[in-house]
């Protein structure tokens, strides 16, 4: 069911299904991203006895666009959203860039986070020993509105099973990549984040108090599988799993495996 709530003066659109302990899902930051990436995964969580919620982050999907385009703003926004939907405590699932958001929230507000599931978050692997930083800018760095073919290529770069890109999926993604969403995306590319001191986020993973599971696709971009092997070497006790025949959109590429593993983790 599609709903909306006002948070920090912004109208926020979210999807919800089921009752029980809230499981709140956050999409990534690629152009066209929205809560819809989790649409097919609400049902399995609801059937397992959870209140499944996925929301369009500020400046994405059908939610209002904020004045503040920093990642730091969206990190601080998550606890406010939880309060707005009446979730004093929730399990959090973060895909791609949002993996860092849910981990930071668990570090800052451990009393409000029951469990943390990270899916294909490259930002959590940045700065690992033996891996240089990316040598080039994102292929999305352009001011021109994307064509339908551009949107298709972006989806293809994130999927192992490219046949999942149906005309309906492509049209929805493309429609959310234009107009105010494109303008917000470009603002996020230009914004200067507040300077962070101290260790990188991956170095603090073992400080996360709620149970934590990280899932990555074996065919994900930027040497993700190799970086995960290094992270596991550095932190053997970390719950980290690699799923074959899955790229950056692991939830789609390995849908049944993802749903089963998510429910097992959340119930375990």
What confidence tens digit (pLDDT) does each residue in 25-67 have?
Answer: 999 999 999 999 999 999 999 999 999 999 999 999 999 999 9
Confidence check: pLDDT of 140 > 80: no
Q: State the alpha helices, DSSP H only, in the chain.
A: 42-47, 71-84, 98-108, 148-157, 167-175, 179-190, 224-234, 250-253, 255-267
Place of tokens 């983790």: 265
Q: Is 189 exposed, middle or buried (0-12, 13-18, 19+ CB in 10 A)?
A: middle
Place of tokens 């995306």: 185
Rounded distance between C-alpha atoms, residue 81 and residue 86, angstroms: 9
Count of domains in the chain? 1
With a CB cutoff of 8 Å and minimum separation 6, the contacts of 228 are: 125, 214, 216, 240, 242
Which tokens is 70 given? Answer: 């920093």
List the domain range (segments joined by +) for residue 29: 2-267
The strand pairing partners of 25, in sequence order, are 54, 93
Relative to beta strand 113-119, strand 10-17 is unpaired
In the chain, the N- to C-terminal Cα span, in Å, equals 27
Confidence of residue 144 (pLDDT cuts 50, 70, 90): confident
Which tokens is 154 given? Answer: 């972006």
pLDDT tens for each residue of 175-191: 999 999 999 999 999 99
Rounded distance between C-alpha atoms, residue 264 and residue 178, angstroms: 38
Query: DSSP letters along 39-51, please?
Result: GGGHHHHHHTTEE
Q: Is 216 exposed, middle or buried (0-12, 13-18, 19+ CB in 10 A)?
A: buried
φ, ψ dihedrals at 135, nearest 5°: -85, -10
When pLDDT is averaged across residues 124-143 and rounded to a whole number, the result is: 73
Long-range contacts of 261-266 (CB under 8 A, 24+ apart): 261/213, 261/215, 262/41, 262/44, 262/45, 262/93, 262/117, 263/44, 263/45, 263/48, 265/115, 265/117, 265/211, 265/213, 266/21, 266/23, 266/45, 266/48, 266/50, 266/91, 266/115, 266/117
Contact 48, 207 (CB under 8 A): no
Q: What is the CATH number of the domain that holds 157?
A: 3.40.50.1820
> So what's the pLDDT on residue 133?
76
What share of the chain in percent tops pLDDT 70? 97
Rounded distance between C-alpha atoms, residue 91 and residue 32, angstroms: 25
Q: How many Cα atoms are found within 13 Å in the side-chain-facing hemisphere of 254?
A: 22
Confidence of residue 139 (pLDDT cuts 50, 70, 90): very low
């Amino acid at each position: 069911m599609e709903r909306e709530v006002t948070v920090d003066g912004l109208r926020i659109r979210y999807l919800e299904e089921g009752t029980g302990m809230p499981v709140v899902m956050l999409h990534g930051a690629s152009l066209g991203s929205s809560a819809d990436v989790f649409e097919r995964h609400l049902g399995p969580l609801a059937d397992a006895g959870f209140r499944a919620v996925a929301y369009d982050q500020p400046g994405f999907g059908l939610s209002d666009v904020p004045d503040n385009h920093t990642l730091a703003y969206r990190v601080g926004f998550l606890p406010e959203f939880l309060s707005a939907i009446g979730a004093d405590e929730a399990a959090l699932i973060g895909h791609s860039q949002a993996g860092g958001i849910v981990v930071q929230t668990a570090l800052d507000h451990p009393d409000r986070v029951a469990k943390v599931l990270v899916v294909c978050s490259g930002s959590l692997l940045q700065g690992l020993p033996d891996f240089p930083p990316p040598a080039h800018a994102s292929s999305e760095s352009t001011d021109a509105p994307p064509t339908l073919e551009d949107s298709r290529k972006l989806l293809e770069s994130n999927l192992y099973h490219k046949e999942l890109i149906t005309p309906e999926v492509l049209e929805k993604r493309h429609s959310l990549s234009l107009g105010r969403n494109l303008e917000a995306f470009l603002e996020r590319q230009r914004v200067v984040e507040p300077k962070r001191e101290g260790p990188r986020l991956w170095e603090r993973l073992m400080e996360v108090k709620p149970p934590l599971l990280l899932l990555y696709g074996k065919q994900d971009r930027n040497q993700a599988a190799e970086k995960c092997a290094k992270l596991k070497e550095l932190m053997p006790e970390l719950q980290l799993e690699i799923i074959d025949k899955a790229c950056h959109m692991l939830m789609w590429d390995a849908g049944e495996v993802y749903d089963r593993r998510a429910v097992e983790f959340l119930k375990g």
